[in-house]
Structure 1
Amino acid sequence: MLLEGRKAIVTGASSGIGKATAQRLGREGANVCVNYYSDKEQGAAQEVVASIERAGPGKAVAMQADVGSETDVERMVIETVRAFGGVDLLVNNAGIEKQIPLLETSQQDWERILRTNLTGTFLCLREAAKVMADGTGGVIVNMSSVHEFIPWPGFAPYCASKGGVKLLMETAARELAPKGIRVLNIAPGAIITPINKFVLDDPEAKHAVEEEIPIGRMGEPEEIAAAVAWAASGEAGYVTGTTIVVDGGMSLYPKFV
C-alpha cells in the first residue's frame, strides 16, 4: 500500500474525480475526510464513506464545508485532526466552471468561480499546511487543469482561477519545502465527470473533443486518482513545485496551445 496510515482530506469528494480519489486513497491505506459542499451532496458523500470502509483498509468520515469559507475550512481541518489524529495529505479537488462569453461574464460569475477554485484552494492549503508544519510534514496535491496553461474561450474565470492555482502551488512549494511539505498540481485533461456534462450529453461535441486527444478517448476519474495516489506517496518524495499533466496527450495539439 502506498499510503498506509496517512491522514487525508479530499475536497469535493462526493462525485467525479474527488470521489475516485478518496476511494483510491482509502484502498492505499489512508484514512480519508470526504468533504462535500451542501446538504444536497450529503447522501452521496456518505455513500463514498461507506464504499471506502467496505473496501478497506482505510477509514473515512464525511464532512460538510464550503471551501470558500475561512471558518468552514478551519472547522474541517480541526475536525479531521480530531478524527484521525492529524492531517498529512490534502487533495484540493473542489472546483466549479461555467461556460459564458467574456463580455457577458458578471462580477458575480467571476467571484463565484474564483472563490471556490482559487480562494478555496488557498484556504485549504494554508490550514492543512499549518497542521503539517507542526507535525512531520505532508503533501498537498491541487487538482488544477490543462487550462492552467491553455486558454479556453468562454471560460475566462475558470482559466484565471487555474492559472492562479499554478503560481500559488509553485510559491507554496518553495516556501513550505523547508517544513517537509511537498506541493504539486495534477492537471487533468478531458475527463468523464459531471463537470463535463455539457460535452458528455452531446455526442458530436464529445466526438470532437476525442478527435483532438492522441489516445482517442476522454479519461476516467480513476486514472486521475491513480496519479494522485502516486504523487502523494513516498515514491514521489522528490517531486514538488510542478504540475503533472494527465490528459491523454491533448495539450500536444497546436489547437489547444
Structure 2
Amino acid sequence: MSAVLNNSSALSGRTALVTGASSGIGWESARLLGELGATVLVHARTAEEGERAVDRLVREAGLDAGRLHAFAADFTQLAEVARLAEQVATAFPSLDLLVNNAAVMAPERCTLSADGNEVSFQVNFLAAHLLAKLLRAPLAAAGEARIVNVSSSLHRTASMNWNDPNRTKKYSRVAAYAQSQLALTMATGDMAPEGSGFTAVSVNPGLCDTALLPLYGRVGAPPAEGAAAVVRLCLPEVRLTNGAYYDGGDIAPTAPAAQEERSQRRLAKLTDLLVTRG
C-alpha cells in the first residue's frame, strides 16, 4: 500500500472534499490526497480552523497552496451542511472524491443539536448523509467518483434505538457513538444509489491516536496510519464494492443490522425525517 501511496500523480486532476480535515485522520488524509496530486477541499468547523489546516499542509507537508481550498461548516447545524454543499457544488461542479471523516465523541450527557438530534448522531451520520445527497450532481458529473465514509469497528457493538434515536431515556455515550457509526455504515450503499455512476464504501481506519481515542480507552496508532487506510480506497486502481465495509484493506463483516434490508429502509425513513425536520 505504501508504494501505491508514493505515486505522486495517482490522483492528478482529481478533486477531493475531506470533512473534519483540521486535525487527526482528516488532516492526514488531506495531506496524502494532496501528495498524490489531488486538489483538496479542506473542511473544518470554522473558517479559522480551515485556514490553519491549509497553512499546516503547505508548511509541514509542502503541498501547493493553489490546490488547497478551505471550507467551513459547523455540522451541529444542518443548515450549514447544506450551505457547504452549495458552496462546493458552485465552485467545483465536478467532484471525484468525498471523504466523510468528520466525527465527534458523544458527550457525557445527552446533548441535542439545534436541529433536535443527538449531537454525535447528527455530526457523525446525518451530516454525512445530507452532504452526500446534496453533492450527487457534482459526484455524478465526475464519472466513477467515490464516497469514503470513515466508520468504526464499534458499529458492530451497536443497535439502533428506533423509538428513541436520541437515547434520551437511557443514554450512554459509547452506545450513542456506536449507533452513529452503525447508521453511517448501514446507509453507505444508499449514498450511491443504483444508476448514480459513483460508488460509496465505509472503512474502519483502525484504532488511532485522535480526539476519539478516549472512547476506546487504549493506545492508538499515529493518525497517518488510519489515513493511509482511508486514502487507499480513493485510488482508481483499487476496485471497490458499493456499500461494502472495509477493514485492513479488505471487505470485512459488518454488524448484522447493517445488511438487513428492513433496517436499511427504516433508517432511510428516519434519516429523511430528521434531516427535513432540521
TM > 0.5 between the two? yes
The equivalences for 1:173-252 within 5 A come to 173=192, 175-176=193-194, 178-196=195-213, 209=218, 218-246=220-248
Following superposition, the deviation at residue 77 of structure 1 comes to 3.1
The equivalences for 1:1-257 within 5 A come to 1-39=9-47, 41-51=49-59, 54-56=62-64, 59-98=67-106, 100=108, 105-106=109-110, 108=112, 111-151=118-158, 154-173=173-192, 175-176=193-194, 178-196=195-213, 209=218, 218-246=220-248
Distance in 2 between residues matched to 1:164 and 1:80, nearest whole Å: 25
Unaligned runs of 5+ in 2: 1-8, 160-171, 254-278
Contact 1:96–1:116 (Cα < 8 Å) also in 2: yes
AA aligned to 1:184 is: V
RMSD (Å), alpha carbons = 2.9
Q: What residue in structure 1 maps to residue 169 of structure 2? A: none
Q: What residue in structure 2 maps to residue 202 of structure 1? A: none
AA aligned to 1:183 is: A
Following superposition, the deviation at residue 11 of structure 1 comes to 0.5
Q: What residue in structure 1 maps to residue 262 of structure 2? A: none
Contact 1:16–1:221 (Cα < 8 Å) also in 2: yes
Structure 1 ranges of 4+ moved more than 6 A: none
Residue 142 of structure 1 aligns to a residue in which SS? strand
Normalising by structure 1, we get a TM-score of 0.76
Aligned pair count reads 227
Distance in 2 between residues matched to 1:22 and 1:188, nearest whole Å: 15
Following superposition, the deviation at residue 61 of structure 1 comes to 0.8
Following superposition, the deviation at residue 132 of structure 1 comes to 1.5
Distance in 1 between residues matched to 2:60 and 2:133, nearest whole Å: 27
For the structure 1 residues 26 and 155, does the alpha-carbon distance in structure 2 shift closer, same or farther, using more than 3 Å as the test? same
- Share of identical aligned residues, percent? 27
Distance in 2 between residues matched to 1:172 and 1:42, nearest whole Å: 26
Residue 234 of structure 1 aligns to a residue in which SS? coil
Following superposition, the deviation at residue 131 of structure 1 comes to 1.8
Residue 194 of structure 1 aligns to a residue in which SS? coil
Distance in 1 between residues matched to 2:173 and 2:77, nearest whole Å: 27
Distance in 1 between residues matched to 2:144 and 2:75, nearest whole Å: 22
**Residue deviations 1:194-251 (CA, integer Å, cap 9, x gap):** 332577xxxxx5xxx35xxxxxxx322112222222211111234321111249xxx9
Distance in 1 between residues matched to 2:198 and 2:33, nearest whole Å: 18
Contact 2:209–2:221 (Cα < 8 Å) also in 1: yes
Normalising by structure 2, we get a TM-score of 0.71
Following superposition, the deviation at residue 149 of structure 1 comes to 1.0
Distance in 2 between residues matched to 1:76 and 1:107, nearest whole Å: 24
Unaligned runs of 5+ in 1: 200-204, 211-217, 252-257
AA aligned to 1:131 is: P
Contact 1:34–1:60 (Cα < 8 Å) also in 2: yes
